[in-house]
Every structure is written in C-alpha cells, then in structure tokens.
Amino acid sequence: MLQFDVVTIFPAMFDAVAEAGVIGRAREKGIYQLVAWNPRDFAQNAYRTVDDRPYGGGPGMVMMAEPVGRALAAARQRQKSAGVQKPRVVHLTPQGRLLNHQLVMELAGQQGLVLLAGRYEGVDERAIARGANGIDDEISIGDYVLSGGELAAMVLIDCIVRQLPGVLGDAESAHQDSFVNGLLDCPHYTRPEVCEGQKVPPVLLSGNHADISRWRLKQALGRTWQRRPDLLVKRVLSDDERSLLEEFKREMCTQELNGA
C-alpha cells in the first residue's frame, strides 16, 4: 500500500481527492493511504500561529519553520510506523522541477511520499532544506502560481494513484494515456455514429484491429506534431511512425484543399 502523508493547513481540501472517482475507490480498496498533518496542531502559541512577516521586509507572510518542521517530523514518523523505511519528501512549489509523466512513474514506484503544501509567500527556507532529514524534491505542476501547494499535491496524488496496479478498471487504459509513449493521445468516439452531421471515422467501425491501431497511432503522431511539436523533438520516430506522420500531413492538405 502506497503511503501518503500531507503537511497542509487545509487538510479538508484533501477529502476532494480521497473521496471521489477512481482515486476515492482506490483508497477504499486499500491501494493507498493518506494522512494529513496540520502545522497549526504543532504551533506553540494560543493563536496557533503558523505564519509571520518576512525578515528583510516585503509583502506577504512566510510559513514558520518550527510548526512546519514538527508536522514533517510527525509525517515521517507515521511513514516509519507504516513500514516505510525512507519516504520521499516532496515540497510543492513553483520553484520546483516541472512534473511530467516520467517523474510521475518514478514517484509511483516509491513506498511512501510526504508532501509539503505551502501557503502564503512561501515556507521558511530552514524547513525545506535538503539533506538527511530534509526535503528530497521540489516539484512544480506548471509555470503559474497557485494560492497554495494543496492543489498541486492533489494533482500529484491523482496522477500517481491512477498508475498503481488495480486502480483503473481496464488494465490497458493507463498504458494508452497521452505521454506514456511520448505522444499525445488519439481522438476518441462513442455512439451515436452521426452527431449533428459529424460522422465517426469509418475505420473505427471496420472491426479491423490492425487498421484501427494504425489509424490511432497516425492520429496521435499528427496531434503531437500539430499541438506539441516540442514532444517530437525529444522522441526518435521509427520509419513506420515517420511514414504515418507523412500520411497524416498529406491527408490534412487534402482535407484543406477540399475545404473540410
């Protein structure tokens, strides 16, 4: 069972991810466990203060090192009691390295993860130092700033848990996701066959599985080329894939000439 411990001043936010959909069901099935730790419970004054003004001045508040550090220590201790020798400790921050599929798979292979979701302008640097009892990783979910690390932590939990064995009903569906093979996903269709005059591509109705796979790969290559050419720069295409992509481009030109 994958063990998550989250350090957050808004533990209730995590009910959203832990109770809904496939991720909620995975928790019920005992595929992972999630425990939240609130730095307020580790604050030392009667007001349960967890933030203070920044040294050196400037706007906003900073999360205090001590309550955060104590909450992290409690989270590590819980991981240990759950049998995790060395949990990976991750701070969610826009200053972190960008999350991608490869990193998700790496994290999905861990026994336990401690996620620190900061608020305010940031967390006192002394609570997020690297090293033996410090942070292992800083991760960002994109080049934009959220009001706190909670949503980023939930994104992380969601995309990790859906990779764990037994979570997705159809064993294939995580393998066929976008990014798994370095490409975007192909388009999908379901009934009816004609929707407001738009037809389902005939090959999908043909029952010919080889043709369907070929078409799907061609669409995946074409979409990636159109929408995320940066992904193709990183990926070496086989001769077959290269010719499928050329076919996609030719078909696109024909459609444009026909005014489609």
| Active-site annotation, residues | 94, 121, 162, 177
Q: Which of 39, 87, 112, 149 binds ligand ADE (CB under 6 A)?
A: 149
For ligand ADE, the closer CB: 115 or 217: 115
Does 152 bind ligand ADE (CB under 6 A)? Our answer is yes
Work out the angle between the directed axes of helices 150-161 and 21-28 (0-180°, nearest 10).
70
Residue 93 CB, nearest approach to ligand ADE (Å): 5
d(CA 205, CA 187): 14
Residue, CB closest to ligand ADE: 152
For ligand ADE, the closer CB: 94 or 134: 94
Does 8 bind ligand ADE (CB under 6 A)? Our answer is no
d(CA 50, CA 66): 8
Residue 124 CB, nearest approach to ligand ADE (Å): 16
Alpha-helical regions (H) of the chain: 15-19, 21-28, 65-81, 101-108, 150-161, 209-227, 229-234, 239-257
d(CA 128, CA 194): 55
Contact 72, 116 (CB under 8 A): yes
Q: Which H or E element spans position 123?
A: strand 122-123
d(CA 160, CA 137): 16
For ligand ADE, the closer CB: 112 or 149: 149
Does 93 bind ligand ADE (CB under 6 A)? Our answer is yes
The residue type found at 122 is: G
Does 90 bind ligand ADE (CB under 6 A)? Our answer is no
For ligand ADE, the closer CB: 50 or 186: 50
Contact 29, 53 (CB under 8 A): no
Q: Which of 131, 144, 170, 239 binds ligand ADE (CB under 6 A)?
A: 144
* CA distances (Å), origin 128, targets 62, 133, 254: 12, 10, 56
Does 61 bind ligand ADE (CB under 6 A)? Our answer is no
Residues binding ligand ADE: number (CB under 6 A): 11
Which of these ranges, 22-30, 143-151, 170-178, 185-193, lies near ligand ADE under the rule CB under 6 A? 143-151
Structural tokens at position 255 = 């459609």
Q: Which of 60, 83, 109, 142 binds ligand ADE (CB under 6 A)?
A: 142
Does 7 bind ligand ADE (CB under 6 A)? Our answer is no
Which residues lie near ligand ADE (CB under 6 A)? 92-94, 140-142, 144-146, 149, 152
